[in-house]
Amino acid sequence: MTASSVAAQWQQLISACRAARGTLGEAMSGRAYEYTSGSIGRAVVLLAIPMVLEMGMESLFVVVDIFFVAKLGADAVTAVGLTEAVLTLLYAIAIGLSTGATALVARRIGERNVEAARIVAVQAIWVAVGLALVTAAIGILYAQEVLELMGASPEVVAGGVGYTMVMLGGSVTILLIFMLNAVFRGAGDAVIAMRVLWVANGINIVLDPLLIFGVGPFPELGVMGAAVATTTGRGVGVLYQLYCLSRTESRIRLKLTDLGLRAQVMLRLLRVSLPGAFQYTIAMSSYIFLMRVISAYGSAAVAGFTIGIRIFAFTFLPAWGFSNAAATLVGQNLGAGEPERAERSVWITAKYNAAFLVMVALVFIFVPEPIVRFFTSDPVVVAYGVDCLRYVSYGYGFYAVGLVVTQAFNGAGDTDTPTYINLFCFWLLQIPLAYVLAQELAWGPQGVFITIAVCDSILAVIAVWLFRQGRWKLKVV
C-alpha cells in the first residue's frame, strides 16, 4: 500500500467522522427538519438519535432503581419487581394512548395543520389526567392488596407496600410524561422529549441513594425512597414539558384558549388510542402472568427475572427509539400523501434496529454473568438472571423487526392490526406455552424464558406478513 493511498483512506475516514459529527449535532440541535421529503436514511437518523437517547433515559429509571434497591436484599428487589409487573399495565395503557397521540399529531403536521395538532395535544393531556386519578386512588387505598394478589410473602408486603403506594399514587407523572413526549415526537420535535428524560433521570439518580439509605439530612425510606425519587424526577420532567409547550418557539405552542375539552377530537383520539392501549395491555398482562408463574419458584427466581428484565429494558427502550422514529415518519408521510415513502422509511428503520439488537444479543448470549453480577452477588439470583438474558436474547433479531413494523401500523393510525397480533401471540400462545414448559414439562423459569423468545419471533413474522399487504396505507384518522 503506497503512502498516497494510505493518506487518501485517512482523509476519507476524517471526512466520515466529520459528517457523522455534523449529523449528530443536527439531530441534537432541535432545529426543524422536513421529514416528508429528501433522504429517508437521514430523516430516520435525525429522528432516531434523540428518540434512542430518550428511551435510553427512560430505561435508566428502572436500572438505577434496581441497582440501589438490590443493596437492600432479595425481598426488596421482589417488591419492586412485583410492583413493576402491575405498573406494566399502566405503562401499557400510557404507551397505547400515546400511540394515538403520536399518530394524530404526526398526521396533522404532515397536513400542515398545526392548530389541529395543538388541539389533539390538549385532549391528550385531559385523557392522561382523568386516567391518573383512577389509578392513584387504587394505589393509595389498595397497595397491600395489590402485592398480596401478586403472590408476595408477608415480609415482601411489609417492606414494599410504601413503594407500591407511591408509585401507583404518583401515576399522573407516568401518564403525562409518556403522553406529552408522544406529542413532541409526533411533531418531529424529538429533542425536547429527550431533554425531558434527561432532566427526570438526573433528579432520580441523585435522589435514589439519598432517600433509600438516608444520606445526610434526607430520611432513610428504604425501598420506598426509590419510588419517591422516581416520582419526583418524573414530576419535574412533566413541568419541563409544560414549559416547553408554552414557549413561543415551540412547534406546537399551547395557548389558554386551547385548554377546553373538545369532545369530537377527544373521541377521535380515543378511537385510535384505545385499541393501542388494549394492544399493549395484552402484552403487559401476559408479562404479569409470567411473573406469577416464576413467583412459584421463590424470591431468588423472581429477583433474577426482575434483574434480567430490567437489563433488557435498557436495550428495549433504545430500540423503541428506532420504532418511534418509524411511527413518526409513517404518520407525517401519510399526511403528506407519500405512502410509498412511508413504507420505505419502515424497512430502513427495521434494518438499523436489527443491526443494533443483534449486537446486543451477542453480548447477552456469550457474556451475561458479569452484567448480572453488576446488580447482585447472590449466586442463585445470578444463575436465574444469566439464564433469562441468554434465552430471551435468541429472539432479539426477530424482535427488532417486529417492534418497528408494529409501531409503523400504529403510526398510520391502524392500531387494530397490532392488537390482533398481540392477542394471538401473547394470550393465545405465550400464556399457555409458558405454563406448559415451566410446570407441565418441569423446565421451571427456563421454560418461561424460552417462551418469551419463541413468541417474540412468531410475532415478528406475522407482523411483516400483514404489513406487506399494505392496507395500513388506506387508514384515515
List, for residues 96-128, the tens digit of each pLDDT value. Answer: 888 888 889 988 888 888 888 888 889 998 999
- C-alpha cell at position 341: 415513502
Higher-confidence position of 366 and 45: 366
Give the C-alpha separation, 78 to 76, whole Å. 5
- Residue of 352, 274, 283 lying closest to 46 (CA atoms): 352
Q: Report the distance separating Cα 35 and Cα 136, nearest Å.
A: 39
**What would the DSSP string read from start to end of 253-279?**
---GGG-S--HHHHHHHHHHHHHHHHH
Mean pLDDT of 223-250: 88
Q: What range defines the domain where residue 389 resides?
A: 33-474
Separation between Cα atoms, residue 414 and residue 100, nearest integer Å: 9
- Residue 150 CB contacts under 8 Å (≥ 6 apart), including other chains: 82, 85, 86, 288, 291, 292, 295
Q: Which of 258, 259, 267, 114 is nearest to 186 (CA)?
A: 114
Beta carbons of 323 and 54 less than 8 angstroms apart? no
Count the Cβ atoms, other than its own, within 10 Å of residue 460: 25
Q: Per-residue pLDDT for 26 more than 90?
A: no
The mean pLDDT value for 421-435 works out to: 93
395 is a domain residue: yes
C-alpha pair distances (Å), 385 with each of 1, 5, 88, 115, 371:
49, 49, 20, 49, 9
Q: What is the pLDDT of residue 31?
A: 66
Label residue 473 exposed, middle or buried (CB < 10 Å: 0-12, 13-18, 19+). middle
DSSP string, 283-314: HHHHHHHHHHHHHTT-HHHHHHHHHHHHHHHH
Residue 326 lies in a domain: yes
What element of type H or E holds 236? helix 223-246
Which residue, 395, 237, 233, is CA-closest to 312?
395
On whether the CB atoms of residues 383 and 373 are closer than 8 A, the answer is no
What percent of the chain has a predicted confidence (pLDDT) above 70? 91
pLDDT at 176: 93
Domain presence at residue 25:
no
With cut-offs at 50, 70 and 90, classify the pLDDT of residue 400: very high
- Say if 28 falls within a structural domain: no
| Rg from Cα positions in the chain | 22
Q: Is residue 132 situated within a structural domain?
A: yes
Least confident of 211-225, 247-261, 407-421: 247-261
8 A C-beta contact, residue 288 and residue 86: yes
> What local confidence, expressed as pLDDT, does residue 78 receive?
81
Does 155 map to a domain? Answer: yes
- Which pLDDT score, from 0 to 100, does residue 426 have? 92
Q: What whole-number distance in Å separates Cα of residue 170 and Cα of residue 83?
A: 13
Nearest to 184 by CA among 93, 121, 259: 121
| pTM of the predicted model as reported, rounded to 2 decimal places | 0.77
Please check whether residue 64 is in contact with residue 208, taking contact to mean a CB–CB distance below 8 angstroms: yes
pLDDT, one tens digit per residue, over 190-217 is 788 888 888 998 898 899 899 999 888 8
What's the one-letter identity of residue 295? Answer: S
Mean of the per-residue pLDDT values for the chain? 85
User: For the chain, how many structural domains are there in total?
Assistant: 1
Residue bearing cell 400542515: 112
Long-range CB pairs of 338-344 (<8 Å, 24+ gap) are 338/36, 339/473, 341/36, 341/40, 342/408, 342/412, 342/473, 343/470, 343/473, 344/40
- Domain for residue 7, yes or no? no
**Is 11 a domain residue?**
no
